[in-house]
Amino acid sequence: MNAQPNWMFLTRKYEFPASHRLFNPDWSDDENARVFRQCNNPNGHGHNYDLEVTVKGQPDPRLGMVVDIYALDQIVKRVILDRVDHKNLNVDVDFMQGLIPTAENIVWAIWHELAPHIPAPAQLARLRLVETRNNFAEYRGE
């Protein structure tokens, strides 16, 4: 059993608190309130998000891992966490501009920010954003 597997997956979990307001500027206040209910609070509301980052690749024989975990942690911190931690996603986060900050849109936007920074030959395989214990979104690329 000396052969390395073709693909392995490594998942790291990160946390960040952030606030947002679900609001479509093309709709009336009444329609926004009807569709987004309490998430449409004009002053916003917050979550303690969990972000799971899964990379795939063949384990590096020198490391025994798909990617150096420390390097991955530093990339996620610099590219994502430093930009979203304790921020208002509607106002403070450049890559969220023009998007309604639903869990689905947040995880999609994070993918597009993070994917180019994953050190080759590893690749981003999956993101899972947990907003509440009952609500999460997952994205696996195009």
Active-site residue flag, 142: no
Active-site residue flag, 131: yes
Rounded to whole angstroms, how far apart are CA atoms 111 and 53? Answer: 9
Strands 45-57 and 123-132: antiparallel
Among 15, 45, 86, 117, the one annotated catalytic: 86
Among 39, 52, 104, 113, the one annotated catalytic: 39
Decide: 137 and 104 in contact? Cβ < 8 Å. yes
Alpha helices in the chain (DSSP H): 29-36, 69-76, 82-84, 103-114
CA 75, distance to chain mean position in Å, is 13
Active-site residue flag, 86: yes
Query: 122: which residues sit within 8 A by CB, 6+ positions away?
Result: 55, 56, 57, 66, 67
Instruction: Report the catalytic residues.
Output: 39, 86, 131
